[in-house]
Structure 1
Amino acid sequence: MHLIFHITLKTPPAGILYALQKGSGSSYHVEQAQHSSGGDLHFEVPVEIKGNKPANEVPDFKGPYVHGPLGGRFIYLDIGNYAGEASFLASGRIKVPLTGITWAMVDGASALETTVAGTGKNGGPAYATPKPFAGWKVKA
């Protein structure tokens, strides 16, 4: 089973490159690169759903955009140098967690969506795992 995960990056600082990370280690590359103008950025991530559907288990996720161990999977949004912008003086990632997703949510759905903050408390780019994380919902 496959789903599209829609991630909205809410009002990241203008003039910075953001991208979806495909792969890991030194062999990763970026896709859907977008320079922020201060408005929201949108990413569409194809994800494969794995696993069985017993009542006490949650779905598992696979694919070239999915990172992390079972039960702690996530998607990386790369920032600045990590996104391929060599002139940017910083680099980092936003780690969008794939937590809180249930079989009830994915059954019959074609897409899930979430929104994460793009600006940190200091006014610069948000980095690391969003706190608080709004979670995922079925896209209407």
Structure 2
Amino acid sequence: MESEITLQIILIKPTPAVVFGLQKGSGNNYETVQKQISTSNDLTFAFTLEVKGDRKKDKFPKLSGSFVQGSGDNKFVYIDIGTYAGQSDTTWSRRLKIPLAGITWTDIDSLSGKSMLQTSVPGTGRDGGPNCATVKPFAGWHIKHL
């Protein structure tokens, strides 16, 4: 079985005056898309992933596509921050790692044409700068009906 699903990441109150964007591609061959400069508002990123696998053999769906990073059961999406997102007038050079773990076949089956999987993560870290590294604690993904 192969299909596509839509995911949405909401960055809650990211550090102001910093560019955030969704990483498409990996290694040295990537681009930052959906670039947004933060104000005091939340930022939203939406994208699609491919879902593969066999419900009878695979405990979890296999997620892939141009936004997916990592391997095996350790898949994730990057939000590029500051210089990684192409901003030249900043001291911030960070990436935020959003885990794709926990997305189940039940989640996939519950999606209809006008729904998506959504997560919200803090946009500002403990040091007052942009949140970076792997989101912890990660609340996971939930279904949002449009």
* TM tier, smaller: over 0.9
Which of 92, 109, 124 aligns to 1:119? It is 124
1:38 Cα deviation after fit: 2.0
Other-structure match for 1:64: 66
Over aligned residue pairs, what C-alpha RMSD do you find? 1.2
Which of 13, 16, 27 aligns to 1:14? It is 16
Runs of 4+, deviation exceeding 2 Å: none
- Higher normalized strand content (fraction of residues): 2
* Counterpart Cα distance in 1 of 2:70 and 2:98: 11
Other-structure match for 2:140: 135
Which of 37, 52, 74 aligns to 2:39? It is 37
Q: Which stretches in structure 1 are left out of the alignment for 5+ residues?
A: none
* Counterpart Cα distance in 1 of 2:56 and 2:95: 34
* Counterpart Cα distance in 2 of 1:66 and 1:112: 15
Closer, same or farther in 2 for the Cα pair 1:55/1:105, shift >3 Å?
farther
Q: TM-score, normalised by structure 2?
A: 0.92
1:95 Cα deviation after fit: 0.4
1:90 Cα deviation after fit: 2.1
Q: TM-score, normalised by structure 1?
A: 0.96
Which one-letter code corresponds to 1:34 in the other structure?
Answer: Q
Other-structure match for 1:102: 104
Q: Which stretches in structure 2 are left out of the alignment for 5+ residues?
A: none
Query: Share of identical aligned residues, percent?
Result: 43
Query: How many equivalent residue pairs?
Result: 140
